[in-house]
Amino acid sequence: MKLGGLFKSLFPARDDAEQLVRARLDAWNAWLLPLAGDGGVGRDPGYEDVFFELREETQKLSGIDDGLVVRSCEQLIREIGKDLRLAGYYAFARLRQDGPAGFADGLELAAALVDRFGEAVLPARAEAKKGALEMLATARVIELLDSRGAFAPADLERALAALDVLVAATGTWPEAVRPNLQPLVSRFERKGEPARSAEAEAAASATTTASTRSSAIASTRDLLDQARTMAVWLRDQENGYLPSVRLVRSIRWDTLHEVPPADAAARTRLLPPRAELRQQMKRLVLQKQWHELLERVEGAFMEGVNHLWFDLQYFQHVALDHVGAPYNAWRELLRADFALFLERLPGIERLAFNDGTPFADDTTLEWIARYAVVRDLEAGESVAPLPVSAESVGDAAGDWPEIEVQARELAGREGVEAAFAWLEALPGMKNDRHRYLQRLVMARVADHAGRPDTALALLAELDTSSRSLPLMRWEPALVFEVKQQFVRALKAMSARKDADKPALARRIGELQAELTVLDPARALTLS
């Protein structure tokens, strides 16, 4: 255990820093008692029902039971496994419960786990360890931390010392799996909160409160800082997602009165979003982490000029399409807000940032054209669905992407049964390939509508059919897609309490082997 430079730079007068940190980490000894297994870390708690419950609880956008999360984390760490994911959930819940003091406790717990167990600490995969520690430095956590007031001197010392231990310890890990804690480090460096005496803290408290209440907003930065604080507070309330989202969009969109100037290539002078943001969003879509995706979108929206990065609105509505009540009920209202903004500033979605990154990529532009356009129905503008047919012209792909879109919309309005009946009546169904694609669309619609048993049955039929049809030879990409969807469905099924986990694991293993035979390179990217 060795302190890095951040603590010493903010507390240069402390010559007992190492002893302070050792005493604080030792305070967690009761949580660190070794368990059965390699290195004393126990077994992976990720397979416990309690873990699933607390993860779902922390992914909520409002109404989180912090007490449940804290109790569950303590139980799992003490009894099941020494896991950094639990430390991340614990830090988040304690921050919500007790403010900066609770967050300092969470940082200490994470630092104590890394200090005591090193690289043996769970989760076992190095990439998963990286992701678990980066939970401490997400935009959601930092915004929440900023909204909970200043650190007391003793809590600030504890937080910085624990953070330094984490940075120093993980600094020896391979670069590819080294967690990026810089956002949290930068937050402390930016705030520059010096250590103060308890008397000075008490004396300043009343003055600070009074001045905060009476101070006027003097700049756009002040406005955005207050908007972030208000949005975080709103999201913590029951059904608070909608007002928090509309608040920040009103502030950022309604204060923009003209289209940004651009050159002949439609490039503005505006800085693009961080390169890693898109990859984070895509990863969350693939993992179906819809609550986390909504949180990431809101954090990114308040960065720089990302309110003009319209791909965020697309990712938001992908999540809203899947996340369930009450969020899906707010979807149309948020789309209307976006459509009205675009109508007020025509052509803005066709511009780009200064490096050529478009405000809206092709997928987003297609989504805007379908869902975020103000239509004058009285003037006869139609919102009727496009005509579709299973039959293609020549070697074209046919209308299957549009068929799936319309089937999902019909399932949302009238139920899965109505969507299946519509698919059964599709014109142009002439051969086995058409019927194969029809069943694949049915499986996807069923999965999207929350009917996993129906989706699983259809996918099992498709997997069997692919062995008798000439698809394996002539359309391996389509067969790969079916097997990949089948694997996802089986993994979702294995999360059930009544599932036959060994049998499902064997079948998943067989399918993964078949995927490797079909396309080794693509199969590797799925592992």
363: helix, strand or coil: helix
251 and 173 assigned to the same domain? no
Has residue 356 been placed in a domain? yes
Do 485 and 443 touch, CB atoms closer than 8 A?
A: yes
Has residue 384 been placed in a domain? no
Residue 477: pLDDT band by 50, 70, 90 thresholds? Answer: confident
State the residue range of the domain holding 433.
400-526
pLDDT digits (tens, 9 = 90+) for 276-301: 888 888 888 888 888 889 988 988 89
pLDDT digits (tens, 9 = 90+) for 234-276: 887 878 899 999 999 999 999 999 999 999 999 999 999 988 8
Peptide bond connecting 179 to the previous residue in cis, omega within 30 degrees of 0: no
Helix axes 311-323, 290-301, angle to 10 degrees: 150
Domain boundary pick from 379, 413, 431: 379
41: helix, strand or coil: strand
**CATH number of the CATH domain containing 425:** 1.25.40
Kindly state the DSSP code that residue 172 receives in the 8-state scheme. T
30 and 89 assigned to the same domain? yes
pTM exceeds cut of 0.85: no
pLDDT digits (tens, 9 = 90+) for 359-395: 999 888 888 887 887 654 444 444 444 445 555 443 3
188 and 48 assigned to the same domain? yes
Q: Looking at the chain, how many residues does it have?
A: 527
273: helix, strand or coil: coil
pLDDT digits (tens, 9 = 90+) for 187-243: 887 755 444 333 334 444 444 444 444 457 777 778 888 888 898 888 878 788 999
**Can you give the pLDDT at residue 214?**
41
Provide the number of structural domains found in the chain: 3
351 and 236 assigned to the same domain? yes
Has residue 213 been placed in a domain? no
31 and 151 assigned to the same domain? yes
Has residue 215 been placed in a domain? no
Do 100 and 148 touch, CB atoms closer than 8 A?
A: yes
35: helix, strand or coil: strand
Do 133 and 170 touch, CB atoms closer than 8 A?
A: yes
106 and 233 assigned to the same domain? no
Q: How many CB atoms lie within 10 A of CB 55?
A: 18
- Structure-model confidence comparison of residues 23 and 134, the more confident one: 134
**Can you give the pLDDT at residue 6?**
56
Q: How far apart are the C-alpha atoms of 366 and 379, rounded to whole Å? A: 23
Has residue 266 been placed in a domain? yes
371 and 406 assigned to the same domain? no
Has residue 471 been placed in a domain? yes
Has residue 394 been placed in a domain? no
Peptide bond connecting 123 to the previous residue in cis, omega within 30 degrees of 0: yes
pLDDT digits (tens, 9 = 90+) for 82-93: 999 999 999 999
**Can you give the pLDDT at residue 424?**
87
pLDDT at 125 over 70: yes
Do 288 and 322 touch, CB atoms closer than 8 A?
A: yes
- Structure-model confidence comparison of residues 63 and 462, the more confident one: 462
373 and 431 assigned to the same domain? no
- Structure-model confidence comparison of residues 307 and 26, the more confident one: 307
**Can you give the pLDDT at residue 291?**
86
54 and 184 assigned to the same domain? yes
Has residue 211 been placed in a domain? no
159 and 32 assigned to the same domain? yes
Do 95 and 103 touch, CB atoms closer than 8 A?
A: yes
**Can you give the pLDDT at residue 329?**
80
pLDDT at 68 over 50: yes
Q: How far apart are the C-alpha atoms of 206 and 315, rounded to whole Å? A: 43
Tokens at 257, concatenated? 């009165």
The structure tokens 């058409």 sit at 434
Q: How far apart are the C-alpha atoms of 345 and 435, rounded to whole Å? A: 45
52 and 184 assigned to the same domain? yes
State which amino acid sits at residue 251.
I
In Å, how far from its chain's centre is CA 211?
Answer: 37
The structure tokens 């090193």 sit at 118
414 and 464 assigned to the same domain? yes
Tokens at 279, concatenated? 């990859």
Do 248 and 298 touch, CB atoms closer than 8 A?
A: yes
Q: Which distant-in-sequence residues (6+ apart) come within 8 Å of 439 by Cβ?
A: 458, 461, 462, 465
- 457 burial level (CB within 10 Å; 0-12, 13-18, 19+): middle
**Can you give the pLDDT at residue 107?**
94
CA distance readout (Å), 332 to 250, 251, 335, 451? 16, 20, 5, 23
128: helix, strand or coil: helix
- For the residues 446-450, what does the mean pLDDT come to? 87
Tokens at 482, concatenated? 């079916």
